[in-house]
Amino acid sequence: MIAWLRLAFGNLRVNRRRTGITLLSVAVGVGGLVFLWAFIDGINAQMINNMTGYVTGDLKVHQRGFHDDREMNIAVAEHWNLAEEMSSVTGVAATTPRVTGNALASHADQSRALQVMGVDSTTEPQVTRLDRSIIHGRYLEGDNEIVMGVDAASALSTSPGDELVLVVQAADGSIGADRFEVVGVFETGIKRIDGFVAQMPLASAQTLYAFEGRFTEIAARVEDSDQLEAVVGSLRNQLQERNVEVLGWPALMPSLVQMVAFHDAVAYIVIFVVFVVVAAGIVNTILMSVLERGREFGVMMALGTPSSRIIWLVLLETTILAGLGYLLGLVLGLSLTGYFGSQGLDFSAYIKAMDTMPGLSSIVYPTIEFSRLVVIGIVVVSVALLAALLPAWKASRNSPLEAMGARRNVVNRIRRIRWEVTSDHRLLIFAQMALRSVFRNPRRSVITASATAFGLAAYLFLYAFADGFFEQMIHNSTQQLSGHVQVMEAGHDIDLSPALRIAGSQALRQQLQERPEVEAAAPRVVLRAMVANPGQSLPVELVGIAPEQERAVTELSGYMAQGTYVQPGEKGIVVGQKLAEELNARLGDKLVITVQQAGGDLASSAQAIRGIYRTGSDLFDTEYAFIDINAARTLGGLQEDEVSRIVLRLSDRSDSVALAQTLNQSSPLTNHGLVAQDWETLLPVVVQMVEMSKVDFYLILSVVFVVVAIGVMNTMVMSVMERTPELGVMLALGTRGGQLQLTILFEAFFLAVLGMVAGTVVGGLLVFWLGQTGIDLSSVSRSLEAIPGITDRIYPVLIFDHVWLPSLLLFLCSVLVALYPAWRASRLDPVEAIRHG
């Protein structure tokens, strides 16, 4: 064995250039895989760490049934001393009691729904770190104080020292209200926390929610997050006589688990494609390496080496190359990951898109998981061995004379080429020689062209997958709610105040509908509200609609899962399925709707649930409820012909920006202080989600491009090296160095065209097939609910404007990488080159 290892290492040292090329191909592929996987794992790790670290803790103990029903009267009694009992369990680092509920907060004429957490200011910092994120003021110290996120404070125009009014539904079903002093403002960088979470002293929350002597939960932090399940099991055994439930963060936040699962699903798709590209590069390089050594194997067999030993030697050399390439790739990938793991990747330009990813902040830090490195290593070595097995076996089957007769055949082929090429045009002569060379050795040509073909096919698939994802998100989001353009009074998109309204809406709507770009127009009254049943209250955006006109603008009526859509002039509220589940409400149940009117007064109305819709988007199905427009006018204090917005559907979605700009310069809007907003402005979450996803995909595609480019270059260099005797004969027969360079560049051009055609066919057929059947993501469908407009089946779409440039760059890369091997070939010594064969 040692002798064979020495022989293998000796062969690798003899041809350092070939060895270096193969190592480079493997190393770049491995480095790209390591970094991409670390980037995706970093996103997941950050979401988990931030949500558990800022809000939930690692686990919670509730009275049994509270987590499912969310009813305030399902409580943990203070005298049970659960916190002390939990702290005695091995693995529990700290515990803290809480009272958690929802509230409608108002300051002056601004209002906002908040999730309010009553906390013990001495023990809460031992479980979560929100207190360390205070940027203005201080943390909680006395009674009737409140701290809130920077975005919530901005929306309510509050700062430390201001007074905030909270209106809640108490545990006994009554309406509770009180005033609180804002003493601190925190910033976590996570929009869901900074915009909708507030903390107050535990005793104040107990008074506000009529919850004296009780808690909604006991939160805890564990010493080792990897032992979470074991600690949860120990707590369940310890508290089995209590009527409580112990839930770790995966059970508390299934949407976070599903979001991680979604990222993993996308990661597996992308990583699989990158694996294919890397594997293709390794296969091409190994194949060319083995094919180049035909005469060497012939000499070995002539000296008595058994064919099985030839196969064994090739596989041993391949294992060494793959192992060394893998180690070099690890160094490259871990170096990149280490740098960005300390510096971070800045996504602050897409902060609104972070809303769709719970716990994700604007700086992403890639993280390494050892298991990923093992998988990459196993795949890379396995692919390399499989790539070497067939050519090694074929080489071992040749007779020594067949293997060593390659040089004579090369000379004969070159003479035949020079005799057949008779064109008077110099460029055409070399183009003909290059073309004949391409077809004379189809095996080598196919191997070389396949590098470009695999790269292009991978590019087309990834771009089509991304574009299909984006198109579905935009189409569904605009058709479910926003339409393409909305007209409103300036500022209504920020605070939804009933004081911001359109008078004379019917005449304006008629004018807008007469425009050639507009297919339909519908009026709306939009209010910020709380909806409540006897056990719970939740914030919603209440939308009053004229049903028949709304049907012409949006498609929500087609998403009804139960009951009926809003009916003209009839009472009843239509809610999303997720909202109904959180309220534990069914068709026919009455909900109390509370809104703040323009003058600051609160108004309420009881409406029975007449319909439940399901769009598949968790955000949409939780945050929006619909009633008849006249009922909304009454509730918000608007007059008969007053509305909040007029929503337009256009014949062509791409006209939205131009139409909004035109309308904003027209007198019907400028004379009345109105503005028109296109869907891009109305749906910044969708736009930024698309933009951020594009950045993610561009990062991924850049890595793929580098891997493909290196693979193409390596294959081309190996192709020239394999033909060293042939090139030597051409030089010996009078071909000048510049002419040889031109011939090789022509070959690279023809091979690039061949690869592009093959890649276009393969990639196009794959996208066409998946465009008909879709990519099934139903196994992570719950995670997709957090992404606006996305369903559990993605249909790839090829958009020419998006793929022509990278395709052109790949083509140019496939040609230009031949410059170096062409230059090397032109400097060959004819005698040495022929002897090399």
| Least-confidence region, from 168-177, 543-552, 664-673 | 168-177
Q: Which two tokens stand for residue 235?
A: 């707590």
Report the alpha-carbon distance of residue 276 to residue 768 in Å, rounded: 20
743 plus 655 within the same structural domain: no
626 plus 706 within the same structural domain: no
Of 192, 117, 148, 51, nearest to 623 (Cα)? 192
523 plus 659 within the same structural domain: yes
Report the alpha-carbon distance of residue 415 to residue 633 in Å, rounded: 92
Q: Looking at the predicted structure, is the pLDDT value of residue 645 above 90?
A: yes
Domain boundary among 193, 209, 242: 242
| C-beta atoms surrounding 16 within 10 Å | 10
Half-sphere exposure at residue 286, Cβ-oriented, CA atoms within 13 angstroms? 30
User: What single letter denotes the amino acid at residue 611?
Assistant: G
Query: Residue 573 domain-assigned?
Result: yes
453 plus 571 within the same structural domain: no
525 plus 662 within the same structural domain: yes
Q: What is the pLDDT of residue 788?
A: 64
3-class secondary-structure state, position 54: helix
Q: What is the pLDDT of residue 415?
A: 46
Report the alpha-carbon distance of residue 737 to residue 29 in Å, rounded: 33
Domain boundary among 672, 694, 727: 672
Mean pLDDT of 313-323: 82
Q: At what angle do helices 16-51 and 370-397 cross, to 10 degrees?
A: 150
Of 593, 607, 620, 608, nearest to 104 (Cα)? 593
426 plus 543 within the same structural domain: no
Total number of domains constituting the chain:
3
Domain boundary among 647, 672, 697: 672
Query: Residue 357 domain-assigned?
Result: no
Of 1 and 197, which is predicted with more confidence?
197
Q: Looking at the predicted structure, is the pLDDT value of residue 420 above 50?
A: no
Q: What is the pLDDT of residue 414?
A: 43
Strands 536-545 and 624-628: parallel
Query: Residue 360 domain-assigned?
Result: no
455 plus 523 within the same structural domain: no
Query: Residue 100 domain-assigned?
Result: yes
At residue 733 the predicted structure's pLDDT band, cuts being 50, 70 and 90, is confident
Query: Residue 83 domain-assigned?
Result: yes
| Least-confidence region, from 182-191, 255-264, 589-598, 685-694 | 685-694
Instruction: Work out the mean pLDDT of the chain and round it to a whole number.
Output: 82
Mean pLDDT of 121-137: 93
Query: Residue 285 domain-assigned?
Result: no
pTM confidence score: 0.65
Mean pLDDT of 264-290: 70
117 plus 215 within the same structural domain: yes
| Least-confidence region, from 13-22, 205-214, 328-337, 353-362 | 353-362
Q: Which two tokens stand for residue 571?
A: 């009472």
Report the alpha-carbon distance of residue 212 to residue 272 in Å, rounded: 56
Query: Residue 26 domain-assigned?
Result: no
Question: Across the strands, what pairs with 107?
Answer: 110
661 plus 731 within the same structural domain: no
Q: Structural domain of residue 693, as residue ranges?
A: 405-482+683-777+789-837
Report the alpha-carbon distance of residue 521 to residue 554 in Å, rounded: 10
647 plus 611 within the same structural domain: yes
At residue 222 the predicted structure's pLDDT band, cuts being 50, 70 and 90, is very high
Query: Residue 59 domain-assigned?
Result: no
Q: What is the pLDDT of residue 475?
A: 85
69-102 pLDDT, tens digit per residue, is 777 778 888 878 888 899 999 999 999 999 998 8
Q: What is the pLDDT of residue 174?
A: 82
Given phi > 0 = left and psi -120 to 50 = alpha, else beta, which region is 63? beta
Q: Looking at the predicted structure, is the pLDDT value of residue 5 above 80?
A: no
691 plus 663 within the same structural domain: no
Report the alpha-carbon distance of residue 269 to residue 238 in Å, rounded: 43
3-class secondary-structure state, position 180: strand
Q: What is the pLDDT of residue 419?
A: 40
User: What single letter denotes the amino acid at residue 98?
Assistant: R
Q: Note whether 556 and 626 are within 8 A (CB).
A: yes
183-216 pLDDT, tens digit per residue, is 999 998 777 788 889 999 999 999 999 988 899 9
418 plus 471 within the same structural domain: yes
